[in-house]
Amino acid sequence: MSVNTIILDWAGTTVDFGCMAPVAAFKKAFENKNIELTYEEIRKPMGMLKIDHIKQLLALDKVKRQWFNLYGRPSVEADVLGIYQDFEKYLFADLAENSHLKPETKQAMKKIKQLGYNIGSTTGYTKDMMAVVFETAKVEGYHPDYVVTPDDVDSLGRPYPFMIFDNMRYFQNHSMEEVIKVGDTISDIQEGKNAGVLSIAVTEGSSVMGLSLEEYKQLSKEEMELLNQQTAEIFYQQGADLCIKNLLELAEILQEHSTVQKLRTKKENSIVH
């Protein structure tokens, strides 16, 4: 069977270079509780359902110590919900402004659609969040054929595979071999691997790289190349089948059907061994 469906992530992959919107919102929400987190710590669970992301951050040893010193008790579910409410407030305040397309998205998606591929999507955003992101992207020229949020799969978002399965149901895929998942977080790769599909990571503008577009543009060509290589290594260590710099590289790969077949053979061989 040949690949016919590409399932893309949103923030950090197709929109919001650097995945900046949720990072800033998480930082502010935890600062409201007098909890200090580094950007690296915030980014590590990126791609998960946002309330699960908050639980992951609260489970950090450093945060548990801070919390107990401040409040004399461990955090509880009510604390999770309180932080989440603050997170939503900060996120929605500038979500549209931080949902602009990444530089290559529009051109790459045009090429991929011309090649005849279905374009699906998954996200860590809720349905209400995605309504904002989708509208901004649509105005700028990108609208995938199908959008799935954790709300559509009983909140069983990444790393569960169910959002991918919902895309496959919609596109009536007969096999995992027909599908490629593309994303910019470790959770994206885990989602793809758990679904049994070819999993490709985007390095440039990814959450793992962690730079805004302005910060990235300030780097020299050599610095960009090194940073992309370092980011790719992290993804490969987490099981990515392939790393690409950006979505234009994806379009070029899809144009070369033999390249996709080689990748799938490599994936099958890695499973056998």
Judge whether 221 counts as a catalytic residue.
Answer: no
Per CATH, the number for 20-94 is: 1.10.150.240
Amino acid at 95: L
Judge whether 128 counts as a catalytic residue.
Answer: no
Identify the pLDDT of residue 18.
95
Identify the pLDDT of residue 273.
34
Q: Give the fold, CATH level 3, of 5-19+99-272.
A: Rossmann fold (3.40.50)
For the chain, which ranges sit under pLDDT 50?
271-273
Name the active-site residue from 33, 50, 102, 267: 50
Identify the pLDDT of residue 266.
62
Identify the pLDDT of residue 105.
98
**CB-CB contact of 137 with 15 (8 Å):** yes
- Does 184 carry a binding-site annotation? yes
- Tell me the H-state helices in the chain: 20-31, 39-43, 50-58, 61-71, 77-94, 105-114, 127-139, 162-171, 186-195, 213-217, 221-237, 247-255, 257-272
pLDDT in tens, 105-116: 999 999 999 999
**% pLDDT > 70, the chain:** 93
- Does 25 carry a binding-site annotation? no
**Exposure string over 137-165, b if 16+ CB within 10 A, otherwise e:** beeeebebebbbbbebbeeebbbbbbbbb
Domain residue ranges of the chain, discontinuous segments joined by +? 5-19+99-272, 20-94
- Strand order from edge to edge, sheet including 198-202: 118-121, 5-8, 179-183, 198-202, 242-244
- Does 61 carry a binding-site annotation? no
**CB-CB contact of 43 with 18 (8 Å):** no
Identify the pLDDT of residue 271.
46
